[in-house]
C-alpha cells in the first residue's frame, strides 16, 4: 500500500513537472530555432519549434547589418562593468559604516535609507533627466554609470545585515594593532564580504545589462546604444511591408540573454550563500 | 529580480550592536573620531540621496504644478494637471484601469504558479536540479529579449502558441493585435518568468522544520493537507514579500508595452509608465508627466500599506511564536 502511494505521487509530480518545464522551456527552443533559420524561412514565416535548419553564419551576419551590433555589445559591457564596480564599492563602504561605526543620528539615517526603497524611479526620472541635460551628459554613458557610485538602498541594507553577523574580534585586534577605520574596512572586512559583494555585483550587472528605459531616455546615437536598446532596432526595416530579419533579431536576443544565464550559472553559489546568511533575518 | 533572499521583517538595529557593547568604554575623542569616519564613509550615499533623490523629488513636486516643455520657463498652473488627470484624460483612466488589470491578474497568478512548482520540486527526486533550472531560466532573460521572443511566440498565424491551440481545434486570437486579448497576452508574458520566485520559495521550504511533517504524518494528514496546514503558513512571509514587490513591479511595467504594442490597439494595453514616458519624452509635457508620476507613487504606497495592514491576518512569522 505504502509503496503504491509513493509511486503514484511521484508519477503525478513527474507528469506535472515535465509539462511545466516543457512550457517554460519551449520559447527558448523556439528562439534558437528562429536564430538558426535561413532568410527564406524568415520571409515565408514558416518557423518550426524545433530547429530544422542550422544557419550558424547568422551569428556572424548579425555584425554585418546596418545596425552597429558590435558597438551595442561593447557599449553594454562598458556600461555594465563600470556601473557594477561603482555599485559594489560605494555600497560596501556605506554598508560597512552602518554595520560597524557608531555615531549620533545613525539609526534615523538608516531609516531614511530604508524609506528611499519605496520611492519608484519614475518620480525622479524627469528632474534627473533635466539635471543630466544641464550637465551635458545626454548621449553619453555617464547618466547610466555615475548614479551607481553613490550606493543603493537595497544593497546597503544587504551589506549592513551581512557585516553585522561577522565576528567583531578581528576588527578589535586590528584596531589594537593601530589600523584605522579605513584600514579595517579594506584589509579585514572587505575580504570577508565576498559573498554579499558577488551577489550585489550580479544584481547590478543583470539590471544594467537588461535596462531598457535608462538608455532609451539618455542615448540617441545608434553607435552609443547598449544591446538592450539596440537589439530592437534590428526589427525596424527600410520598407514598410518588409519582414524584419527575425533570424538576426533572435540572434540578438541570444546575445542579450546568454551572458545573464552564464553569470547566473557561475554566480549561483554566492547567491545561495546569501540565501543562507540572510535567511534567518528574512525567511523565518 | 533574483534568487537572493530578500528581507521580510522590518529590520531592527544591527544585532552586533544590540548586545551590550563588548568594547571597553573609550574616551569621547575616540568616539568623535568614530562618528566622523561614519559620516565620511556614508557620504557617497548622502550625496547621492541629495542629488539624485531628494532634490529631484522636490523638483518633481514643483513641476507637477506647472506646465513645462523643458525648453522655456515653467508656468505655474496650480492643481490643473491633477484636475485634468482625474476628470478629463480618458487615456490616463484607461491606462490606470489596464495597469490594475495587469497587476490584479499577473501578480497572484504568477505567485500561484511559483508556489505550485515549488511544491512539486520540494521533494527528493531524480532530475530535480534539471527541472528547477528549466523553470528558472526564463527569469534570467532580459525583459527586452522576452518582449521580442513573445512577439514571435504570439504571432497570430505562424506563432507556436496558436499552432498548439489549433491542435485542439481552438482558433487562437491575434493576441497583441486584438484589444480583448492584448492584456492577457502581456500577462502571459509575465507569467513565463514566474519561475523566478520558485527558487525563493524552495529556499524557504528548506527552512521548515522536518518535525512538523513527521508529526503530521503520524496524525495521518495527506500531502495536500500538509501543504495547506504546514508549508503554506510557513511560507507566508516570503509570499507576502513577493506580493508587495510584485505589485510595485507590475505598476512599473514599461518595456513590454513600449516594444510590443505602444499601448495599442486602441489604448487597450496602455499603462501608466509608458503613458508617463510618452508625455515626458515625446510630447515634452514635463509638468503633466510629473503629476502622473506622483499619482503612480501614491497608488503604489497605498497598495503597500494595504498589503501590510492585511498581512497580520495571514502572514505567519515564526518569531511571533518563539519569542
pLDDT tens for chain B, 323 residues long, are: 344 444 444 444 444 444 445 455 556 888 888 999 999 999 999 999 999 999 999 999 999 999 999 888 999 999 999 999 999 999 999 999 999 999 999 999 999 999 999 999 988 888 888 998 899 999 999 999 999 999 999 988 888 899 889 989 888 898 999 999 999 999 999 999 998 888 888 888 888 888 898 899 899 888 888 889 899 988 888 888 888 888 888 999 999 999 999 988 989 999 999 999 999 999 999 999 999 999 999 998 898 888 888 877 777 765 554 43
Contact across the interface for A124 and B276, Cβ inside 8 Å: no
Q: Are B113 and B191 in contact (CB under 8 A)?
A: yes
Burial class (CB in 10 A: 0-12, 13-18, 19+), B26: exposed
Q: What are the pLDDT digits (tens) for A143-172? A: 999 999 999 999 999 899 889 888 888 888
Contact: B38, A106; criterion CB under 8 Å: yes
Which residues of chain A neighbour B176 with C-beta distances below 8 Å?
none
Average confidence (pLDDT) over A193-202: 91
Q: What gap in Å lies between CA B59 and CA B294, rounded to an integer?
A: 12
Q: Does A52 touch chain B (CB under 8 A)?
A: no
For chain B, say whether A282 makes contact (Cβ under 8 Å). Answer: yes
A274 in contact with B, Cβ within 8 Å: yes
Is a pLDDT exceeding 50 seen at residue A250? Answer: yes
Phi, psi of B126 (to 5 degrees): -70, 145
Task: Please report the residues numbered 112 through 151 in chain B whose beta carbons come closer than 8 angstroms to any beta carbon of chain A.
Answer: 116-117, 120-121, 123, 125, 127, 130-131, 134-135, 137-138, 140-145, 147-151
- pLDDT attached to residue B56: 96
Residues of chain B numbered 238-297 and touching chain A (CB < 8 Å): 238, 241, 248, 251-252, 254-255, 258-259, 273, 276-277, 280-281, 286, 289-290, 293-294, 296-297
A residues 69-88 near B, CB within 8 Å? none
Q: Give Cα A217 distance to the centre of its chain.
A: 19
> Any chain B CB within 8 A of the CB of A104?
yes
A208 with A194: CB under 8 angstroms?
Answer: no
- Which residues of A fall within a CB distance of 8 Å from B251? 120
Asked whether the beta carbons of residue A260 and residue B140 sit closer than 8 angstroms, the reply is yes
The single-letter DSSP state of residue B76 is E
Rounded distance between C-alpha atoms, residue B303 and residue B312, angstroms: 15
Class level of CATH domain B81-322: mainly alpha
B95's enclosing H/E stretch is helix B90-121
Q: Check residue A239 and give its pLDDT.
A: 65
Q: What percent of chain A has pLDDT over 70?
A: 90
For chain A, domain boundaries? 2-56, 67-282
Mean confidence (pLDDT) of chain A = 88
Q: Do A268 and B48 touch (CB under 8 A)?
A: no
Q: Which residues of A touch B308 (CB under 8 A)?
A: none
Name the minimum distance, in Å, from the CA of A150 to any CA of chain B: 5
Residue numbers in A near B23 (CB within 8 A): 168, 172
Distance CA B240, CA B315 (A): 7
User: Which runs of consecutive H residues, i.e. helices, occur in chain A?
Assistant: 2-35, 39-44, 58-61, 69-100, 106-116, 121-134, 142-145, 153-164, 169-176, 181-183, 190-192, 194-210, 213-218, 227-230, 246-282
Pick the CATH number of A67-282 from 1.10.3720.10, 3.90.1170.10, 3.40.640.10, 1.10.150.20: 1.10.3720.10
Residue A1 has pLDDT above 50, yes or no: no
Q: Is the dihedral of CA A37, A38, A39, A44 positive or negative?
A: negative
User: Considering only residues 116 to 175 of chain A, which have any Cβ-Cβ distance to chain B shorter than 8 Å?
Assistant: 116, 118-131, 133, 147, 149-151, 156-158, 160-161, 164-165, 168, 172
CA-CA distance, B134 to B137, in Å (whole number)?
5
Tens of pLDDT, residue by residue over A212-222, are 999 999 999 99
pLDDT (tens digit per residue) in A73-130 = 999 999 999 999 999 999 999 999 999 999 999 999 999 998 898 888 999 999 999 9
Q: How many CB pairs under 8 A join A and B?
A: 302
Question: Domains of chain B: which residue ranges?
Answer: 15-78, 81-322
Asked if B257 contacts B271 with a C-beta cutoff of 8 angstroms, the reply is: yes
Cα gap B89→B97, rounded to integer Å: 13
Q: For residue B144, give the H/E element and its range.
A: helix B143-153
Q: Which one, of B68, B99, B97, lies nearest residue B81 by Cα?
A: B68
What is the structure's pLDDT at B20?
47
Does the pLDDT of residue A272 top 80, yes or no? no
Q: Do B255 and A213 touch (CB under 8 A)?
A: yes
Answer yes or no: do B52 and A229 touch at CB < 8 A: no
Beta-strand relationship, B66-67 and B75-76: antiparallel
The pLDDT value recorded for residue B27 is: 66
Amino acid at each position: 500500500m505504502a509503496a503504491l502511494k509513493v509511486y503514484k505521487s511521484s508519477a503525478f509530480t513527474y507528469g506535472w513537472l515535465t509539462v511545466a518545464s516543457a512550457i517554460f522551456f519551449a520559447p527558448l527552443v523556439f528562439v534558437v530555432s528562429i536564430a538558426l533559420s535561413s532568410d527564406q524561412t524568415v520571409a515565408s514565416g514558416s518557423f518550426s519549434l524545433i530547429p530544422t535548419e542550422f544557419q550558424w553564419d547568422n551569428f556572424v551576419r548579425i555584425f554585418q547589418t546596418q545596425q552597429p551590433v558590435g558597438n551595442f555589445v561593447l557599449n553594454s559591457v562598458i556600461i555594465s562593468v563600470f556601473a557594477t564596480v561603482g555599485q559594489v564599492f560605494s555600497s560596501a563602504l556605506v554598508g560597512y559604516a552602518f554595520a560597524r561605526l557608531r555615531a549620533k543620528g545613525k539609526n534615523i539615517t538608516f531609516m531614511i535609507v530604508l524609506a528611499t526603497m519605496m520611492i519608484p524611479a519614475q518620480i525622479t526620472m524627469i528632474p534627473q533627466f533635466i539635471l543630466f541635460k544641464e550637465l551635458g551628459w545626454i548621449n553619453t554613458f555617464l547618466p547610466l554609470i555615475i548614479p551607481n557610485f553613490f550606493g543603493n538602498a537595497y544593497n546597503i541594507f544587504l551589506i549592513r545585515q551581512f557585516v553585522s553577523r561577522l565576528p567583531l574580534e578581528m576588527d578589535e585586534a586590528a584596531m589594537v594593532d593601530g589600523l584605522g577605520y579605513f584600514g579595517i574596512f579594506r584589509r579585514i572586512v572587505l575580504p570577508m564580504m565576498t559573498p554579499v559583494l558577488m551577489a550585489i555585483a550580479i544584481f547590478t550587472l543583470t539590471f544594467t545589462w537588461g535596462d531598457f528605459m535608462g538608455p532609451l531616455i539618455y542615448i540617441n546615437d545608434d553607435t552609443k546604444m547598449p544591446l538592450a536598446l539596440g537589439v530592437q532596432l534590428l526589427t525596424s526595416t527600410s520598407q514598410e511591408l518588409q519582414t524584419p530579419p527575425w533570424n538576426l533579431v533572435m540572434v540578438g536576443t541570444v546575445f542579450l540573454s546568454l551572458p545573464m544565464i552564464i553569470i547566473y550559472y557561475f554566480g549561483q553559489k554566492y547567491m545561495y550563500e546569501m540565501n543562507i546568511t540572510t535567511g534567518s533575518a528574512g525567511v523565518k | 529580480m533574483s534568487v537572493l533572499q530578500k528581507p521580510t521583517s522590518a529590520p531592527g538595529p544591527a544585532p552586533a550592536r544590540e548586545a551590550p557593547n563588548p568594547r571597553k568604554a573609550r574616551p569621547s575623542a575616540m568616539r568623535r573620531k568614530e562618528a566622523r569616519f561614519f559620516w565620511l564613509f556614508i557620504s557617497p550615499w548622502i550625496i547621492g540621496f541629495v542629488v539624485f533623490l531628494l532634490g529631484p523629488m522636490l523638483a518633481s513636486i514643483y513641476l507637477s504644478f506647472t506646465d513645462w516643455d523643458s525648453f522655456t520657463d515653467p508656468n505655474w498652473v496650480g492643481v490643473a494637471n491633477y484636475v485634468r488627470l482625474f476628470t478629463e484624460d480618458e487615456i490616463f483612466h484607461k491606462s490606470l484601469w489596464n495597469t490594475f488589470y495587469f497587476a490584479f491578474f499577473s501578480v497572484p497568478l504568477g505567485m500561484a504558479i511559483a508556489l505550485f512548482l515549488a511544491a512539486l520540486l520540494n521533494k527528493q527526486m531524480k532530475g530535480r536540479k534539471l527541472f528547477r533550472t528549466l523553470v528558472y531560466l526564463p527569469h534570467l532573460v532580459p525583459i527586452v529579449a522576452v518582449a521580442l521572443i513573445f512577439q514571435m511566440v504570439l504571432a497570430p498565424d505562424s506563432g507556436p502558441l496558436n499552432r498548439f491551440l489549433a491542435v485542439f481545434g481552438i482558433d487562437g486570437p491575434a493576441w497583441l493585435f486584438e484589444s480583448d486579448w492584448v492584456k492577457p497576452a502581456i500577462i502571459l508574458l509575465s507569467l513565463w518568468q514566474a519561475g523566478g520566485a520558485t527558487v525563493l520559495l524552495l529556499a524557504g521550504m528548506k527552512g521548515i522544520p522536518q518535525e512538523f511533517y513527521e508529526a503530521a504524518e503520524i496524525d495521518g494528514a495527506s500531502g495536500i493537507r500538509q501543504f495547506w496546514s504546514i508549508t503554506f503558513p510557513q511560507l507566508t512571509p516570503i509570499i507576502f514579500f513577493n506580493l508587495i514587490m510584485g505589485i510595485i513591479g507590475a505598476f512599473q511595467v514599461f518595456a513590454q508595452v513600449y516594444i510590443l504594442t505602444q499601448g495599442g490597439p486602441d489604448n487597450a494595453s496602455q499603462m501608466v509608465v509608458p503613458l508617463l514616458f510618452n508625455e515626458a519624452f515625446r510630447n515634452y509635457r514635463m509638468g503633466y508627466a510629473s503629476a502622473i508620476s506622483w499619482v503612480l507613487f501614491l497608488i503604489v504606497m497605498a497598495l503597500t500599506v494595504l498589503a501590510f495592514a492585511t498581512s497580520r491576518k495571514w502572514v505567519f512569522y515564526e518569531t511571533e511564536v518563539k519569542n
